[in-house]
Structure 1
């Protein structure tokens, strides 16, 4: 049995400022490489751990040379985590994959993995997912987010393609294959130190301060606001309900203004009568007492009460509502718009 261990360092100065505001010495970045997706049939061959170490980022890896080394890899990673006593585990999609897979393999080898219960878990994939539409990407894998942030990778493999490389390494022990395996995992771990900067984009939904409001036309208002922390990339959103531009700590929202009767469209129009003389709808339980000459079955487009934010029936957009003076309620209008985007 041979357990291979590798350690790498990079200066913290390489990280964007937006990342540094979220990092602390209690964080442990965690990533595993496996021979497949099934924790019952496949195994872990590599564990990568990353943390802040003074003015540098350190990544340490434990690599199994063959199947019999898996238990040693798990034990070594657990021993390190227990000894250092980190308070936050950081992963990318670890909730769904890394943690349950690791715990299942520990269970198979009768190795206690309760160290995870002593740490908070920051799953970057899940945390960023609610704002994924901010980013012009078709897919939302770690490599896609890294490309968005301008992070270049030397590694050209994904986890699935590396399985064949690992099985070849088991047989031949070639250094070139070992380097490929470690490179992929190392860049995954280092990459998460960059991806954490995207948490700054969540401020848009949580914490903004309004600087100014200006009516640019009779049908449009612009709101300038600022963020407490800089976003790592510029963001532009264009929607029929408004546009949003974010750059560093500055934000601009341009909202269209609508005037007219607000309508609340009711579900199940077949349950309502339309009263022709009053131009309104009532539920059949009430409308049954109205003279049939003055009532008829309600059509879907007229089955509403006078309060809603859609402009037309079947309008898929929901518009933020701002009653009274817009200048008095600008915060609510902006908050409503930002919740939508």
Structure 2
């Protein structure tokens, strides 16, 4: 088995940044994260095997990268045992699509070899799942790791992709190409470093999770312009729009422009199943109130029709608390309409 350990001197976020970006994900104060990525000979958990595990852990005030690669399929049980023991030192894992592939794959291979799951009582942060809401906002055509890295400006990799790595590993394992191990290990290392950089994209979720404060609000012609201060800095500036609004962000500032109709705005509500929409009044009301109305006058509200109207007064423009209440309900709705 090939075992490597090396410090990460640059290209990975500092520990406090990792803690800050992940604190909203139910992690305890005892925060000991480990990033990991695996390489397998295929997708099937029953007919393929695990040949490489890479991990990044914070030790003695520095990030350390670990890699374990087997030289023969017979070593897979030993690799699983080593990584299982390694995981016992941590409180949570951070990976990309790990909840759907990496963790189930490892658990299946452990079960095949009569080993217990190493993930019991271990929390998970799957960056792929967490970042799904920002796909439309950031105009991402795909959500695989290379596409997300490309958005961050990481568009050049030295080593091949995961599919080609399987071929290189088999050449290494068969003894035909011993230097192929460097290619496979290099690919895994790039994936691990990419995880650290992708983590910074959690800052965009501030817009979906009320991680901001209104700084300014003004009315300009037919638009109302909100300026927001985010609790985190964005790694890359962005802009997007629809017929109803325009949004742009840079560093820790976001500008949200929305059209008003004769000085009025729609206040959307996410719990639309609790509302009925009244077409004649172009408004939604709680079902507890509409139950007494003629059924012909109401219909179950949908995501796009669950709103009421309110007038944008001078008090609203001067009151950050009221602006925050409005944005809390409406900003997630408008962002969800971006495809």
Shared fold, TM over 0.5: yes
For residues 59-90 of structure 1, give each alpha carbon's deviation from its aligned partner in whole angstroms, at most 9, with x where no partner exists.
111111111111111111112222xx210111
Secondary structure of 1:8's counterpart equals strand
Distance change in 2, residues 1:176/1:321 (3 Å): farther
Which of these residues, 83, 95, 108, is aligned with residue 91 of structure 1? 95
- Confirm whether residue 67 of structure 1 aligns to residue 73 of structure 2: yes
1:168 matched residue in structure 2: 171
TM-score by length of 1: 0.78
Measure how far apart 1:146 and its partner are. 1.1
CA contact (8 A) 1:25 1:51 kept: no
CA contact (8 A) 1:66 1:170 kept: yes
| Alpha-carbon separation, structure 2, partners of 1:193 and 1:35 | 25
| Alpha-carbon separation, structure 2, partners of 1:162 and 1:39 | 18
2:330 matched residue in structure 1: 337
Which of these residues, 229, 233, 239, is aligned with residue 230 of structure 1? 233
Measure how far apart 1:321 and its partner are. 4.8
The structure that has the greater radius of gyration is 1
Q: How many matched pairs?
A: 296
1:22 matched residue in structure 2: 21
Measure how far apart 1:155 and its partner are. 3.5
Secondary structure of 2:229's counterpart equals strand
CA contact (8 A) 1:29 1:91 kept: yes
1:196-275 equivalences under 5 Å are 196-206=199-209, 207-217=211-221, 219-259=222-262, 264-265=278-279
Measure how far apart 1:153 and its partner are. 4.3
Distance change in 2, residues 1:132/1:161 (3 Å): same
CA contact (8 A) 2:217 2:226 kept: yes
| Alpha-carbon separation, structure 1, partners of 2:208 and 2:305 | 17
1:107 matched residue in structure 2: 111
Measure how far apart 1:336 and its partner are. 3.5
What is the RMSD computed on CA atoms of the aligned residues?
3.0
Distance change in 2, residues 1:12/1:55 (3 Å): farther
1:271 matched residue in structure 2: none
Secondary structure of 1:57's counterpart equals strand
TM-score by length of 2: 0.78
1:50 matched residue in structure 2: 56
1:323 matched residue in structure 2: 310
Measure how far apart 1:182 and its partner are. 0.5
- Confirm whether residue 7 of structure 1 aligns to residue 5 of structure 2: yes
1:270 matched residue in structure 2: none
1:123 matched residue in structure 2: 126
Q: What runs of 5+ residues in structure 2 fail to find an aligned partner?
A: 23-29, 267-276, 281-292, 317-321
| Alpha-carbon separation, structure 1, partners of 2:137 and 2:50 | 34
Distance change in 2, residues 1:261/1:100 (3 Å): closer
| Alpha-carbon separation, structure 2, partners of 1:58 and 1:25 | 16
Secondary structure of 1:168's counterpart equals helix
CA contact (8 A) 1:222 1:254 kept: yes
CA contact (8 A) 2:31 2:92 kept: no
| Alpha-carbon separation, structure 1, partners of 2:163 and 2:13 | 28
Q: What runs of 5+ residues in structure 1 fail to find an aligned partner?
A: 267-280, 285-302, 310-315
